[in-house]
Amino acid sequence: MKRYEQLAQTIAAMIRARVLAPGDRIASVRQASARHRVSPATVFQAYYLLENQGLIEARARSGYYVSDAAPALLAEPSPSRPDRRSTAVDVSELVFSILRDIKDPAIVPLGSAFPSPALFPWQRLHRSLSSADRALSPWQSVGGLPPGDEALRRQIALRHLGAGLRVSVEDVIITDGALEGLNLCLQAVTQPGDVVAVESPGFYAALQALERLRLKAVEIPVHPREGVDLPALAAALKRHPVRACWFMTNYQNPAGALMSEARKRELVRLLALHEVPLIEDDVYGELYFGSAHQPPAKTFDERGLVMYCSSFSKILAPGYRIGWVLPGRFGERIERLKWMTTISASVPPQAGLAHYLASGGFDRHLRGLRRTLEQQQQHMLRAIAKFFPADCRVSRPSGGYFLWLELPESVDALRLHALALEQGISIAPGPLFSAKREYRNFIRLNYGHWDQRVEPALARLGDLIRALSS
């Protein structure tokens, strides 16, 4: 990273942490140059970058100020307080009516779960897929059989090792995307009727998986910045015969929460105490802004109770449907379930990804992707501050590509969803993210797509919210 980028990151982190508040004057170029021991040109470049990200603004003859709109004028949503009882789950109708919209390119995809495909290195991926496929011998058509392509598993293990997670090639099982991995992990440790702890608000696919496997959900509150509420989890573990937890520790979907390292350690310790397996969904872990990579809870797992799931779908190759599991002590069961349900992931995409990862350039791509998403978050936060009523609350996640918004009490997100769709805009309404259809006045917005349609769409959304809240 260049010196000016480092400086910009340092200042951005202070703004995000509210050390610098909206409207605060920041150091002049001369002051900053002296304080950080860099040239004035470097400070100019850093300030230019921050201005471009919407974090600061220059005022004529007066210097630089933290932007009013960023990191967002609006307060963050309140911590959730889900119902403490366990529930049979039924969210599918709602989810499917929303999934259908994703495929329609005419709809502004603020409700989408995917980032814009324009953010990925398709040309490089194509070259890797083509080279790797050409080099495959026919006999390697069985090479993808569980646990999966050896070269790809080695690349994945190497990346984890580089990030401080001790895994070997043997620990990696390739799956058809993270969702299959998560489903297999869940099935490996539960029987129909069992109770599983999930986040509230939480990823709807987790709720669907519970529904499909006829499991019961206990919803654990999620703080919009700190993640799973550990005292609430401890209480639930005492009250319910919880057989597994399915949590997202980094940039949780939809709230955007990041669990601190200390809280992850505590989570692992607490679950080990109760011998409860953790299914850790880390598909957004690589999409961190500013600061360094956040270790997953798996890093602190000494008992093999954490099943770690991730994929390339959100960070490199959507559509390839290649993910992986680090299964802890449940490896054999998960590998067998994979054999029994889909046999193996597709061989050419596995080989293509292995080739891409071995060729270098993945980290450069990721740095660019993170910068873009961080900028787009700022754009969207600014637009929301401009167009939405002032009593809306919005999350300010330090990674991923989702904002979680609490709208005025009187706004029905399902109604908003229907009205927005009539205007060609999709959103993800709050009740999607709860087994009990809570979060009636919440929505999730995706800033992973940013084109000329998004700002006008947000303006229209603001008008609709105002109309519904009056």
Chain contacts with a copy of itself (rule: CB under 8 A): 92, 96, 99, 102-103, 105, 114, 117-118, 120, 122, 126, 129-130, 133-134, 136, 138-145, 176-177, 179-180, 183, 187, 192, 205, 208-209, 212, 214, 318-322, 336-337, 339-349, 352
For residue 254, whether the previous peptide bond is cis, meaning omega lies within 30 degrees of 0, is yes
Query: Is the separation of the CB atoms in 281 and 251 below 8 Å?
Result: no
Opening angle at CA 56, ends 48 and 406, nearest 5: 135
435 CB-contact burial (10 Å; exposed 0-12 / middle 13-18 / buried 19+): buried
Opening angle at CA 164, ends 162 and 165, nearest 5: 105
Report the b/e string of 376-396 with b at 16+ CB within 10 A: bbbbbbbbbbebbeeebbbbb
Closest of 184, 149, 172 to residue 328, by C-alpha: 172
Measured from the CB atom, the residue of 123 and 410 that comes closer to a copy of itself is 123
Measured from the CB atom, the residue of 322 and 435 that comes closer to a copy of itself is 322
* Minimum CB distance to a copy of itself, residue 139 (Å): 6
Measured from the CB atom, the residue of 89 and 242 that comes closer to a copy of itself is 89
Measured from the CB atom, the residue of 206 and 427 that comes closer to a copy of itself is 206
Report the b/e string of 158-190 with b at 16+ CB within 10 A: ebbeeeebebeeebbbbbbbbbbbbbbbbbbbb
- State the greatest distance between any 2 C-alpha atoms of the chain, in Å, as a whole number: 71
Q: Classify strands 442-446 and 428-429 as parallel, antiparallel or unpaired.
A: antiparallel
Separation CA 29–CA 248 (nearest Å): 40
Q: Which two tokens stand for residue 89?
A: 């789950």
* Minimum CB distance to a copy of itself, residue 58 (Å): 35
Separation CA 48–CA 66 (nearest Å): 13
Measured from the CB atom, the residue of 144 and 290 that comes closer to a copy of itself is 144
* Minimum CB distance to a copy of itself, residue 126 (Å): 5
* Minimum CB distance to a copy of itself, residue 292 (Å): 29
**Cβ neighbours for 395, distance < 8 A, ≥ 6 positions apart:** 76, 77, 224, 225, 255, 256, 257, 402, 403, 404, 405
* Minimum CB distance to a copy of itself, residue 147 (Å): 10
* Minimum CB distance to a copy of itself, residue 103 (Å): 6
* Minimum CB distance to a copy of itself, residue 213 (Å): 9
* Minimum CB distance to a copy of itself, residue 331 (Å): 13
Measured from the CB atom, the residue of 345 and 458 that comes closer to a copy of itself is 345
Measured from the CB atom, the residue of 333 and 436 that comes closer to a copy of itself is 333
Measured from the CB atom, the residue of 61 and 103 that comes closer to a copy of itself is 103
